[in-house]
């Protein structure tokens, strides 16, 4: 919309009536050409963003957050077993 100079006022909803040709082409591309792996990546990215936003919104409203439980990783170079005699 910005590249063509078209402007949609905030009072109008974004739907098939108010979108341009480029939006239709992009919608067709994502519906037909993305692989399952790409959709999985998009879904994971959206889930990560959603989680982060939920935490930020809760923090801005003063909701206490439970500390995240973490399990320590094993050493990257574990010690060798004792030598057998």
Model pLDDT, residue 12:
53
Query: Does 10 score more than 70 pLDDT?
Result: no
Average pLDDT, rounded, for the chain: 77
pTM reported for the whole predicted model: 0.43
Model pLDDT, residue 5:
59
What mean pLDDT comes out for the span 28-46? 86
- Alpha helices in 1-85, H assignment, sequence order: 21-32, 36-60
Assign 15 a pLDDT band (cuts: 50, 70, 90): low
Closest CA to 31 of 23, 45, 21: 23
Q: Are 1 and 8 in contact (CB under 8 A)?
A: yes
Q: Which of 5-9, 42-46, 48-52, 53-57 has the lowest mean pLDDT?
A: 5-9
């Amino acid at each position: 919309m910005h590249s063509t100079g078209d402007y949609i006022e905030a009072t109008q909803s974004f739907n098939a009536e108010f979108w341009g040709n480029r939006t239709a082409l992009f919608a067709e591309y994502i519906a037909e050409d993305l692989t399952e792996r790409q959709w999985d990546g998009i879904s994971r990215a959206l889930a990560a963003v959603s989680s982060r936003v939920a935490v930020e919104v809760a923090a801005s409203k003063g909701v206490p957050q439970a500390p995240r439980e973490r399990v320590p990783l094993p050493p990257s170079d574990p010690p060798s077993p004792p030598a057998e005699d």
